[in-house]
Structure 1
Amino acid sequence: MEEAPLGVLCLDSSFTKPLGHLRNPDTFRHPIRYEVLQGIDIPRLLHAPGDELGALLVDRARRLEREGVCAIAGSCGFMARYQERVAAAVTVPVVLSSLTLLPWLASVHGGTGRIGVLTADSGALKRAHFVGAGWQGPLPVVQGLEDGDEFRQVILEGRRDDLDLAAMAQELAQATRRLKAQAPLDAVVLECTDLSAFVEVVRREAGCPVYDIVPALELILRSAAGRQQSAPDPLVTG
């Protein structure tokens, strides 16, 4: 039986999506259905969120569900503020942001202050995003990428589409060192889906486990895909 695809709610962007990125279909061994939100770019989501955008995400999530996806993801961690609303509107699992990992990781790693977050823009990441992702405690330590020339020009401002992978890796390494300097870390969460392709850079610099949306979705897909298959015959012993 053909596998039901993963549905991804995507911002309107055209820069390079390297292997490991959520929007590179070769990242997953699973069919993907991308739903691009035309005209909704990164600046709009970061700096002008609102009920209208939330309603659009709900509408497109319901469309993806009607088309038969097994789960729904978001292409930007800042969609976290709409996590609860979208998840309540459909019956399939929804992971709009890697920030949804934080409550679980606080239990796994035994505390809140030792989990760091690398984000696209530290000034734009508000408590509402953490609360939307199910987080109720003190905010984790946060470090943004907004001061990196390559990240800012290509991703935050959309001035170029040709992402320099080496420059991006260097900026991410610097940001990780700044994050680590703020507090001892037991784990790092990559809020920004554009960082998933560089997880090994972060892991090397942070010296601790690093979590991003891709393996979180792989866990969801293994569970959701299992529901698509017929249950095996029970093992009879005796």
Structure 2
Amino acid sequence: MIIRAKKGQVSYGESIGILMLDTFTPFIPGDVGNATTYPFPVRYQTVKGFTFEKLLQKDRTMLTPILEAGHILVKEGVKAITADCGYMAMFQDEIANELQVPVFLSSLLQIPFISATLAQEEKIGIICSKASNFEIELLQKIGVSPTIPLCIRGMDEKENFRKAAHDEIGILDPDKIEEEVVSVAKEMVQSDPLVKVILLECSSLPPYAAAIQKAVQLPIFDYVTMIKYVHSALVQKRYTGYM
């Protein structure tokens, strides 16, 4: 078999490209921003100047640098592109229409699929980074029906998470943040028994998914479940076994 080089590409074998906000936060294993999170290689590209604050402000001037970063990832050979903040949903259409690979910028894209697995009255519990910025418009951008029952809780008031993710002090305490997010999940489920699945919007919350599941005994979806799912479609494996 003859293998041909792709012009402009100098490395190979990375299925998923990840657009990163320009932040100052340590990314622990399990975080979208830590490459050891995945059982396959990924490629990162920072969108220079695109801070979390600018994302919350819906700064449309950042569309051009996002596209530029996306084109770099495509040139480097990735087969699909995601991002590291669920609020990137606001750019989903523009990026998907521009780039020549599948684009799945937000963990929230999983909502319709998850909803289809539930009874009509059952709810998806969403734990997000900042509840005050979680708007219906964000869901409309990715085609999520307003009739899907949701229960939203934010990490805004949790001190350790806020300092690490919002204030970007440059350090975090995983044990304390785990306690905070588990407490949010437990309160959600206790206050609303119709919550039957939890979706973690924030890309920094997957490290705590196992602890959340242990506490509430529910299925947990997050950025990493989405990325692994897409990778499995992009890179199919031959099955082996016996009869």
Paired letter, 1:83: Q
Q: Output the CA distance in 1 between the equivalents of 2:91 and 2:135.
A: 13
Deviation string for 1:53-88 (max 9, x for gaps)?
233323321221122111101111110111122112
Q: Tell me, which stretches of 5 or more residues in structure 1 are unaligned?
A: 232-238
Deviation, structure 1 residue 112: 6.4
8 Å contact from structure 2 (residues 15, 234) kept in 1: no
**TM-score w.r.t. length of structure 2:** 0.86
The answer as to 2:228 corresponding to 1:218 is: yes
Paired letter, 2:61: E
Alignment of 1:31-70 (within 5 A): 31-46=41-56, 48-70=57-79
Deviation, structure 1 residue 113: 4.8
Q: Secondary structure at the match of 1:21?
A: coil
The answer as to 2:128 corresponding to 1:119 is: yes
Number of aligned positions between the proteins: 227
**Higher share of residues assigned helix:** 1
Percent of pairs with identical residues: 22
Q: Secondary structure at the match of 1:94?
A: coil
Structure 2 CA distance for partners of 1:60 and 1:75, relative to 1, 3 Å: same
Equivalent of 2:28 in 18, 23, 48: 18
Runs of 4+ with deviation above 6 angstroms: none
**TM-score w.r.t. length of structure 1:** 0.88
Q: Output the CA distance in 1 between the equivalents of 2:123 and 2:54.
A: 31
Q: Tell me, which stretches of 5 or more residues in structure 2 are unaligned?
A: 4-11, 239-243
Alignment of 1:118-197 (within 5 A): 118-138=127-147, 140-158=150-168, 160-184=169-193, 185-197=195-207
Deviation, structure 1 residue 205: 2.5
8 Å contact from structure 1 (residues 106, 112) kept in 2: no
Paired letter, 1:167: K
**What is the RMSD of the two structures over their aligned residues, measured on CA atoms?**
2.0
Deviation, structure 1 residue 125: 0.9
